[in-house]
Amino acid sequence: MGMSRQHKVAVVTGASSGIGEAVTRRLAADGLTVVAVARRGDRLAALAQRDERIVAYPADVTRRTAVAALAEHVAGAHGRCDVLVNNAGIPGGRFRGPDDIDDLVRTMQVNFMGTVNCTAMFRDLLAASAPSHVVNLASVAGKIGSGHPGYAASKFAAVGFSEALGLAWARDGITVTQLNPGLIATEGFPQTAILRTRFAGIVGRPEDVAAAVVDVLVRRPRERTVPRWYRGLVVLRHVLPGPFWALTARARRVRGIRD
């Protein structure tokens, strides 16, 4: 998508707080009409009051019928979808045995299947609005296997889905980008433990990710890491796995992650 934002329409999921809220506010400030989607309608209503370009639409992305209704609403009310930002996500918990299977399934439903549901239901509208763009908020955890197992698994799935879909949909004028944030302090991911250490400076802000979304809409890459230096960890994972895993183990202790 070029620099002209007038009459462009974006849909952002997980928009009631954190990265989703920051992305919604940034895109609206840049002149796009933004349909802000999340389960917490009161949060969305408050967000929409800040900017007339923001349209609140409460929905649960894990419910296929709700997402289909969302896509139908956007098509009817706005006639197009230039940008779909799949951001809705939850952190998930530890995986120690059978009692944690349901938590992992729920994490996959929100983080991965929510992305699948939205991408599928908006496919025709994205194609009709081409050149258009799907930005899937994956994670550095989906590239190097850090964090809780269920969360990492959901983000690995998002990365693979984005890579394969990007190749398949390019011919229809739809760019698919996997945007992989590192540690970002949000309501769902407060990063409390590491913020109390001397490593607090590596923790980013939701606004950093919002700026990266704007950048990928202009540059149209298939992949982007934010902050950019986290990309070095991905390279290290494959080039020097031994030192990487030693570093990862130390980082888990600093962040207070326990299995």
* pLDDT of 171 strictly over 80: yes
pLDDT digits (tens, 9 = 90+) for 239-248: 888 887 787 7
Average pLDDT rounded to a whole number, residues 69-83? 98
Residue 226 CB partners (closer than 8 Å, separation 6+): 179, 180, 181, 182, 204, 208, 209, 212
- φ and ψ at residue 68, rounded to 5 degrees: -60, -40
Structure confidence at residue 51 (pLDDT):
96
Residue 31 CB partners (closer than 8 Å, separation 6+): 5, 6, 8, 53
pLDDT digits (tens, 9 = 90+) for 32-60: 999 999 999 999 999 999 999 999 999 99
> 28: buried, middle or exposed (CB in 10 Å: 19+, 13-18, 0-12)?
buried
Of 7-16, 21-30, 183-192, 243-252, the one with minimum mean pLDDT is: 183-192
d(CA 24, CA 42): 16
Average pLDDT rounded to a whole number, residues 159-177? 97
Domains of the chain: 9-255 (3.40.50.720)
Beta bridge partners of 36: 12, 56
How many Cα neighbours within 13 Å face the side chain of 99? 3
Beta bridge partners of 133: 83, 175
Structure confidence at residue 227 (pLDDT):
86
d(CA 189, CA 106): 17
Q: pTM score > 0.85 for this model?
A: yes
pLDDT digits (tens, 9 = 90+) for 212-224: 999 999 999 999 9
Angle between helix axes 114-121 and 149-169 (nearest 10 degrees) is 20
Which is catalytic among the residues 57, 151, 161, 230? 151
Would you call 57 a catalytic residue per the annotation?
no
Structure confidence at residue 5 (pLDDT):
62
* pLDDT of 1 strictly over 80: no
Give the residue, 37 or 259, on which the prediction is more confident.
Answer: 37
> Which three-class secondary structure state does DSSP give residue 145?
coil
Of 6-20, 67-81, 157-171, 231-245, the one with minimum mean pLDDT is: 231-245
Structure confidence at residue 253 (pLDDT):
63
Residue 220 CB partners (closer than 8 Å, separation 6+): 1, 133, 175, 177
- φ and ψ at residue 175, rounded to 5 degrees: -90, 135
Average pLDDT rounded to a whole number, residues 227-250? 81
